Amino acid sequence: MDRKYIENEHIVDRYLSGDLTMREARGFEQFCHDHPQFVSGLPIPPRLRARLSRRSVEDVGDFAALPSGATRAAVEIAEEGFDADEAREEMRRSYIGEGLNRTLLIGLLAAVLVAGGVAVMYALKASALAEQLQGTKKQLTAVQMQPPGRQQRYTIQPVKGKPSQPTVALGWLDPAELLDITIDATEGKMTQFQITVDKSDGVRVMQIKRLTRDSNKELRMSLNSSAFGPGNYLVRIDAYNWRGQIDEYGWFMLGLE
């Protein structure tokens, strides 16, 4: 008899209910005696576990084919105090207790998972709220004109065609800066220009007309960075021709975020 046979044939339950032959009962008891670790893992009452761990009873010869009920009757003379009905009842209570423990464990795990999910949800909401508050604070600061803390000069080379990314990435300037912008306007013979500043969402911010280039053929203008909110600003440069009409001259984009 081996472990697989015991599990497949339900030997433990049949042993307790008296459905084994004496030979099967003796084989089971001998296996338990030879494998005490196996006995310690059985869900049976402690008294029966201790009994099975002791040396098995000597074979009773002619009774080897009798049902294990007769086996138990012969054995109980030497094993006083063992009650098979009581053992089955204790085993049943043990199964019920294990079932309740499993149910409680599953319930506890479910509660932990629910609590963890709620905690993650609130953490995400808190993070989103913090980002929203930070953005609101930045916007409130942006709409308030501030005296520039310093002056910074930027030389810009316009590009042909509308850019999709900032050509001059300044980031959000805090404290505010006075942007001293110099634009290269050496190409061509035009002397007067129009500067149009639009936010990336299409909102018109400002427009400067009839800006004349200096002797170095450069356009100069100064802007307070606090006059702009966070974002990207597309700057279009148009040149006035001899008829007073404007023609596209170049572009650049300021990145202030």
**pLDDT for 178 beyond 70:** yes
Fold for 150-256, please state it. Immunoglobulin-like (2.60.40)
**pLDDT for 135 beyond 80:** no
Strands of the chain (E only): list them.
150-156, 168-169, 177-184, 192-199, 204-212, 218-224, 231-240, 246-256
pTM of the model: 0.45
**pLDDT for 201 beyond 70:** yes
Helix (H, G, I), strand (E, B) or coil at 220: strand
Sequence-distant (≥ 6) Cβ neighbours of residue 149 within 8 angstroms: 175, 176, 177
pLDDT of residue 32: 83
Range of weakest confidence among 116-125, 204-213, 237-246:
116-125
Contact of 254 with 232, CB cutoff 8 Å: yes
Distance CA 194, CA 178 (A): 21
**pLDDT for 202 beyond 70:** yes
Residue type at 130 in one-letter notation: A
CATH 2.60.40.2550 location in the chain: 150-256
Closest CA to 196 of 161, 236, 157, 233: 236
Between 68 and 180, residue with greater pLDDT: 180
Between 104 and 220, residue with greater pLDDT: 220
Tens of pLDDT, residues 25-39: 888 788 887 877 777
Distance CA 163, CA 59 (A): 99
